[in-house]
Amino acid sequence: MNSFIKQNKIFIAFNTISVILFFVLLYLSIDFSSQSDELFKKAENTIKELSSINSDITELRHIESDYNEIQSDLKKLSSIEKDLSNFLSYLLNENENVGSKWSSKSAESVNAAITRLFSRLRKKCKNSFISLPKSSSETQNANVFQASTTNKIDEFGFSFSSYDGFWPSFSAIEARKLGTQSEIINELIDHLSLCTDANHSIEIISIKREIVGQIDKENIGGDVLEVTDIEPFLIRSLDEIESYVFKLSIKTQTIPLRKLVNKLRPPFLLREILINPVEDNSGNTFDQNSFSPDPFSTEVTYEDKFVPIVSKVDSRVDVIFEYITKANRNLTNSFYLLSEHESPRPQVLFNWLDQSGHESFIPEAKKYFNDENNR
């Protein structure tokens, strides 16, 4: 045995190495086989994931177009908001608006201002070919005694008749509202005074206004204007707008009315104009012998007097107008609601504010989102 080993050392060594190598290779083969199985499984999973991703990409391919469309919509919304803000500013016309003029007046100062207003407006009407309503007692006295009497235009109160010499206990807020209305009436009479001349006069029939408070409701009398029927047509139906409504009834001709309409610019807004011809109450009777020419006469006659097509030039005109006093663009509620959203996008809001011309609101908007993040 020893001799066999000695004689075949190389063979035995080779076989031993071969056996060892065989087992090593067998181990490696088994190990690689298991690893390759894992790799194949990973490859299959990766292929499945890639397939799922490709499917998702296919399904979400519209995201880019949607994003571009959203950006376009954001620009449109910004443009609409900008136009709306400009429109509200145009309606408010702060340079000529009297809404804030009475914000700090006391009830006593408003009373004094309205008292002075009576004499001023009556004098302006007298000097501007504008006649005011006369009392029935004055007309009767003039007819009976055939004497000249003083025109009682002092009785007309320009929708404030109840407060000519009488002033209830108004609160400061209600008095300021009355003061604002009186200033609006003042501007209206100023406009009327610029629409008349010696050939085109205006006769004021009445001026009515809406109630501003409980005390005013108890004392306004016949000057009250009911706005229930016209409320849906008023621009103040928008929550951000405040206004007063008036009704002016006059007797006039076409030219003064056209001038008045052209002069009423914001914050005056015309809501309704009703025009009715003034009835002729002269008492003229129909003359059966007034036919010319006589249909039974053979004599040829010629018309020597021009008769206008429209013989009645005066009309009763009822003008309802709305005067804008406030236009508040309150974006605070929007900031709060967006900051409370489960997935807030503050940058979208900031871009919208920037594009719509509300850059000054961005710091305030940031405070809402910062406060939300700190909670």
**pLDDT tens digit sequence for 189-202:** 999 999 999 999 99
- Pick 276 or 40 by higher pLDDT: 276
Residue 137: its pLDDT value, please? Answer: 42
CB 241 within 8 A of CB 235: yes
Q: At what angle do helices 107-127 and 172-193 cross, to 10 degrees?
A: 10
- What tokens were used for 319? 């003008």
Question: In the block, which residue shows the tokens 């005067």?
Answer: 323
pLDDT band for 1, please (50, 70, 90 cuts). low
Is the sign of the CA dihedral 165, 168, 169, 170 positive or negative?
negative
* Distance in angstroms (rounded) separating the CA atoms of residues 67 and 63: 6
Global pTM reads 0.69
Place of tokens 């006469």: 297
Domain 96-278+312-327 sits in CATH at 3.30.70.60
At 342 the three-state DSSP class reads coil
Does 218 score more than 90 pLDDT?
A: yes
Is 227 within 8 Å of 245 (Cβ atoms)?
A: yes
Among residues 351, 371, 372, which one has the least CA distance to residue 361?
351
Q: What is the pLDDT of residue 127?
A: 94
Given a cut of 90, whether residue 205 has pLDDT beyond it is yes
Nearest CA to 369 out of 341, 331, 329, 328 is that of: 341
In the chain, where the domains are located: 66-93+330-375, 96-278+312-327
Cα–Cα distance measured from residue 217 to residue 210, given in angstroms and rounded to the nearest whole number = 9
User: How far is the C-alpha of 146 from the C-alpha of 140, rounded, in Å?
Assistant: 10
Query: Predicted confidence band at 149 (pLDDT cuts at 50, 70, 90)?
Result: very low
The mean predicted confidence, pLDDT, of the chain is 81
Q: What is the pLDDT confidence band of residue 80, given thresholds at 50, 70 and 90? A: very high
C-alpha to C-alpha distance for 215 and 212, rounded to whole angstroms: 8
Considering 45-54, 259-268, 324-333, 334-343, the range whose residues carry the highest mean pLDDT is 259-268
Q: How confident is the model at residue 5 (pLDDT cuts 50, 70, 90)?
A: low
For residue range 223-241, what is the model confidence (pLDDT) as tens digits? Answer: 999 998 889 889 988 878 8
Q: Where are the beta strands (DSSP E) in the chain?
A: 130-131, 202-209, 241-252, 268-277, 315-327
Predicted confidence at residue 373, as pLDDT, reads: 59
Q: How confident is the model at residue 160 (pLDDT cuts 50, 70, 90)?
A: very high
Q: Report DSSP letters for 85-110, one per residue.
A: HHHHHHHH-TTT--TTTTTT--HHHH
Given a contact cutoff of 8 angstroms between Cβ atoms, the answer to whether 190 and 236 are in contact is: no
pLDDT of residue 284: 43
Q: Say if residue 9's pLDDT is above 90.
A: no
Mean pLDDT to the nearest integer, 102-130 = 90
Region 271-296: mean pLDDT is 60
| pLDDT the model gives residue 283 | 44
pLDDT on residue 210: 95
Residue 251, pLDDT score: 95
Q: Report which secondary-structure segment, H or E, holds 116.
A: helix 107-127
What is residue 29's predicted lDDT score, i.e. its pLDDT? 80
Confidence of residue 47 (pLDDT cuts 50, 70, 90): confident
| Residue 146 predicted with pLDDT over 60 | no
